[in-house]
Amino acid sequence: MSAPPMPAVKGPQLQSFGSGLNVAVIGATGGIGGALAEALDRSPAVARVFRLSRSKAASDSSLRLDLEDEATIAAAAAHLQAAAGTLHLVLVATGILHDDNGLQPEKSWRALSGPALDTAFRLNSIGPALVAKHFLPLLPRQGKAAFAALSARVGSIEDNQLGGWHAYRASKAALNMLIKTLSIELTRRSPSALCVALHPGTVDTPLSKPFQGGVPDDKLFSPAQSASYLLGVLDRLAPRDSGGLYAWDGRRIPF
């Protein structure tokens, strides 16, 4: 799929999904997740936006979900099934690149660390997969719906020309494969539903903050810009596009 960049919009229409949509945003306290939830709140097509994150906020539509605790994922899915019945859009807006416990993008294989690799895979691959396990059954069997997880261009094996960033690249590549595999099973259950990975671009959030030095101003997006682009991409994707990795501008990124 190839498309020119799309301008930011104040309220995504999501016309291809219909109306009265129930939406869940996992990672809603993060930069991109919060922007996605706010944009969806303004969409005339959306009935309810459920915000899920590790720390529960003071809101009737906010739930606790810890990617490292499957019990919280299962409980959140059960709660939403009781509250909404079905979900038309599930967005997993989570990811980790660095932390204060030794996880940093590796410049060489000499920097590889078992604990760092474990952290990257638990949060970038395993957590989203467990969300899919419990949330894909909440998608309707008929009509357009989508499960989408934030991935990254650097998770593309074919596109990797620089090396380095081993844990992040590998964990996102694993996520991309999980999305592809999940999409095949989802198609059998819900033929019009999508299961896709999304590359949000370089977004001005704490995740990218230490690595923004060489990014041109016009390629450093605000969370609101990125959210608008991603929702526009989802609106334009068709069932035949399920299983792919798509950039913020709608272009498909090879695995």
Q: What is the per-residue DSSP string for the chain? A: ---------SS---GGG-SSEEEEEETTTSHHHHHHHHHHHT-TTEEEEEEEESS--SSTTEEE--TT-HHHHHHHHHHHHHHHS--SEEEE----S--TTS----SSGGG--HHHHHHHHIIIIIHHHHHHHHHGGGS-SSS-EEEEEE--GGG-TTT--S---HHHHHHHHHHHHHHHHHHHHHHHH-TTEEEEEEE--EESSTTTGGG-TT--GGGEE-HHHHHHHHHHHHHH--GGGTT-EEETTSPEEP-
pLDDT for residue 141: 97
| Confidence bin at 237 (pLDDT 50/70/90) | very high
- CB–CB of 86/22 below 8 Å? yes
Is residue 51 scored above 50 in pLDDT? yes
| Confidence bin at 8 (pLDDT 50/70/90) | very low
Is residue 140 scored above 70 in pLDDT? yes
pLDDT for residue 9: 43
CATH for 15-253, options being 3.30.200.20, 3.30.1330.30, 3.30.70.360, 3.40.50.720: 3.40.50.720
Question: Which neighbouring-strand residues pair with 23?
Answer: 49, 89
Our CA angle for 72, 202, 68, nearest 5°, is 15
As a whole-number percent, the residues of the chain with pLDDT over 70 amount to 91
pLDDT single digits (tens) 80-97: 999 999 999 999 999 999
| Confidence bin at 218 (pLDDT 50/70/90) | confident
Amino acid at 181: T
Is residue 123 scored above 70 in pLDDT? yes
Is residue 1 scored above 60 in pLDDT? no
Q: What is the pLDDT averaged over residues 111-140? A: 97
pLDDT for residue 60: 52
Please state, in angstroms and rounded to a whole number, the distance separating the CA atoms of residues 172 and 135.
20
What's the start-to-end Cα distance of the chain, in Å? 14
Q: Count other C-beta atoms under 10 Å from residue 75's C-beta.
A: 15
pLDDT for residue 64: 93
The highest-confidence range among 52-56, 189-193, 210-214, by mean pLDDT, is 189-193
| Confidence bin at 29 (pLDDT 50/70/90) | very high
Q: What is the pLDDT averaged over residues 127-142? A: 98
Tokens 């906010």 appear where?
62
User: Which is nearest to 223 in space by CA: 200, 239, 203, 206?
Assistant: 203
Is this structure's pTM higher than 0.85? yes
Task: Quote the distance between the C-alpha of residue 229 and its chain's center.
Answer: 13
pLDDT for residue 59: 53
As a whole-number percent, the residues of the chain with pLDDT over 90 amount to 83
pLDDT for residue 246: 98
CA distances (Å), origin 143, targets 71, 84, 190, 194, 249: 29, 16, 8, 10, 24
